[in-house]
A and B are shown apart, each in its own frame.
Chain A
């Protein structure tokens, strides 16, 4: 194992970069967990949905809007779009096998990808984000403001979601609907709309992930495909039904991949993904439910 020249300042810069990309994996993982928890479906279209909304932001910004002016508009569009997808495409499969719903989301991913190529073309574009790419000097390390912003956005997002689910009536109803649909109907909850709301929220969270990563990756129809893999890995690492797990899993994965790529010579840039996934596999052998997930116990 070859360790390249090491300084603490550079290590801190690498940690910041790792946490920043980890924040994006975490957001997308959070979106996956939101849908999995509310409807039991695995959403393979989460990545393309995020890319699609990022393209909408790009178009708005091309028409003269600033990033932070486009930001809320895009989130509203994502929310409405997510609800629309659930009510039209997913609803017929609500009570069907989980595999059917998963296949529908795969189809949706292909359709959205094709649509993006048709509307915006297949070429990659540069995307100017909402944070400055200048660095600030913290204890000798040059940390990008963009990285700090990305992690901050994740934490604000997590805090808002936590407040929503814990303290609001609708948040509580959403949790109840996912846990026990029949009992929820009897206390007056409109369960179908709660599922739609879960999709809407997931679309918003995914859209934020897209808007955060687009300035770093270049924007193209396939932008989120590898990131979705990371997000799945992060969600599984954290335990597929645990929001906290998704966030911790995402940050951890971003950190490990970045540090492996930088410091472990023969892993380098090309092997960092397989090595990271191997580590996850090893962890899942020891803890099948993930870091924070609950292993389903069946009464026999």
Chain B
């Protein structure tokens, strides 16, 4: 029996008009874990992130962080509870410099790591005075990660951190995330399409398909699950 998980999503449903984006999803993330959230396109992964970070309110169910509901926390107060995220399509402040982007990250919550430390740690010191606009995509993703880290989160949600990265960058990312979980004492929930990365990195994986959770387990268990194989490869004839 595990202790109370850091994050619990409890029977959450969310519909947009006639489309059921999340259909009674439950999942949990324990403190210090790296948990993967995978599933085909449209499975509801990003919607789940939006519900957890309060950009989107669920129709039913509860989201608890550290045993307490998040649903009464306003979006701008989520970061104070210790949750930060990155976006699938990189949502930087384009008119601000790299250093300013990271400084904004520390707006509401400043931890033991200074903005300069974070910039150095993520490896973007050389571009710190450049505008975030126009940097290579991989670098922009690092800036976004640095912005999230600047608030010293206890839980960080990464939406497709490997998306748009080349093979070498993905390998670096895997090593980086493992190192940074220890260095920053942070829990990671990541949505990712890059199976190599998820399977090598995650302690546990939750699999979504059409808004439902179809499997949960270690990467090895999930990979062997017939329901998962069917979701990814289509119905067997």
* Chain A residues in the interface with B (C-beta under 8 A): 169, 172-173, 175-176, 179-180, 182-191
Inter-chain contacts of B109 with A (CB < 8 A): 188
Nearest A residue to B147 via CB reads A187
28 residue pairs A–B, Cβ–Cβ below 8 Å: A169-B107, A172-B96, A172-B103, A172-B107, A175-B95, A175-B96, A175-B100, A176-B93, A179-B93, A179-B95, A180-B92, A180-B94, A182-B55, A182-B91, A183-B92, A183-B93, A185-B76, A186-B53, A186-B78, A186-B79, A186-B84, A187-B79, A187-B106, A187-B107, A188-B77, A188-B79, A188-B107, A189-B108
**Contact digits for B5-32, partner A, Cβ 8 Å, 1 yes 0 no:** 0000000000000000000000000000
Residue among B75, B92, B104 facing the most chain A CB atoms (10 A cut-off): B104
A246 to B106, CA, bound (A): 31
**Contact digits for B63-102, partner A, Cβ 8 Å, 1 yes 0 no:** 0000000000001111110001101000111111000100
Inter-chain contacts of B77 with A (CB < 8 A): 188
Interface of B is mostly: loop
Are B76 and A172 closer than 8 Å at their CB atoms?
A: no
> In whole Å, how far is A245's beta carbon from the nearest beta carbon of chain B?
14
- Known contacts A180-B92, A188-B108; A172/B151 CB under 8 A: no
Are A185 and B75 closer than 8 Å at their CB atoms?
A: yes
Inter-chain contacts of A173 with B (CB < 8 A): 104, 107
Are B53 and A187 closer than 8 Å at their CB atoms?
A: no
Inter-chain contacts of B55 with A (CB < 8 A): 182, 185-186
Beyond A183-B87, A187-B104, A188-B107, 14 additional pairs, beta carbon < 8 A: A169-B107, A172-B100, A172-B107, A176-B93, A176-B104, A176-B107, A179-B93, A180-B92, A183-B92, A184-B104, A185-B55, A185-B75, A185-B76, A187-B79
Is B58 positioned at the interface, with any CB of A under 8 Å from its CB?
no
Inter-chain contacts of B36 with A (CB < 8 A): none
A175 to B131, CA, bound (A): 14
* Chain B residues in the interface with A (C-beta under 8 A): 53, 55, 75-80, 84-85, 87, 91-96, 100, 103-109, 147, 151
Inter-chain contacts of B79 with A (CB < 8 A): 186-188
- Known contacts A172-B103, A176-B104, A184-B104; A189/B93 CB under 8 A: no
The one of A179, A182, A188, A191 in contact with B80, judged by C-beta atoms closer than 8 angstroms, is: A188
Inter-chain contacts of B85 with A (CB < 8 A): 186
Are B75 and A186 closer than 8 Å at their CB atoms?
A: yes
The one of B76, B84, B87, B96 in contact with A179, judged by C-beta atoms closer than 8 angstroms, is: B96
Inter-chain contacts of A188 with B (CB < 8 A): 76-80, 107-109, 151
Nearest A residue to B94 via CB reads A179
Inter-chain contacts of B84 with A (CB < 8 A): 186-187
- Known contacts A172-B100, A176-B104, A184-B104; A191/B76 CB under 8 A: yes
- Known contacts A172-B103, A176-B104, A180-B91; A189/B76 CB under 8 A: yes
Nearest B residue to A178 via CB reads B95
> In whole Å, how far is A154's beta carbon from the nearest beta carbon of chain B?
24
Are A176 and B91 closer than 8 Å at their CB atoms?
A: no
Nearest A residue to B109 via CB reads A188
A173 to B107, CA, bound (A): 7
A188 to B148, CA, bound (A): 11
A173 to B101, CA, bound (A): 10
- Known contacts A169-B107, A182-B55, A188-B108; A176/B96 CB under 8 A: yes
